[in-house]
Amino acid sequence: MSQAHVVTPTPTVPTISVRELAPWALLFGLLAVLTIFFVSADQGAVSIPAGNAIHEWVHDGRHLMGFPCH
């Protein structure tokens, strides 16, 4: 009687090089800076977007992150 040999595959962990990761890190970094800009925008006399619509949309987020707005 012969016994069957069971071969279990060994899992391999894929590697990601820095060259592949750098553009994505830059993209998400720029999106984070843009988000912080809009959340922290005072929308006073010198704001780029006119009006206070963005301020009202992110009002609660401003308080959550500690930006004064009143």
Residue 62 domain flag:
yes
Let me know if residue 42 belongs to a domain: yes
Measured between alpha carbons, how far is 70 from 63 in angstroms, rounded to an integer? Answer: 10
- pLDDT tens column, 13-43: 889 899 999 999 999 999 998 887 777 766 5
Q: Which region holds residue 66: left if phi is over 0, alpha if psi is between -120 and 50, else beta?
A: left
Query: Does residue 50 fall inside a structural domain?
Result: yes
- pTM (two decimals): 0.54
User: Which domain does 44 fall in, by range?
Assistant: 36-70
Angle made by CA atoms 38, 68, 36, in degrees to the nearest 5: 25
- DSSP state letter for 31: H
> Is there a domain that residue 70 lies in?
yes
Residue 14 in any domain: the answer is no
Does a structural domain hold residue 56? yes
Number of separate domains in the chain: 1
pLDDT, tens digit, for every residue of 43-69? 555 566 666 776 677 777 777 877 776
Lookup: tokens for 11? 């899992």
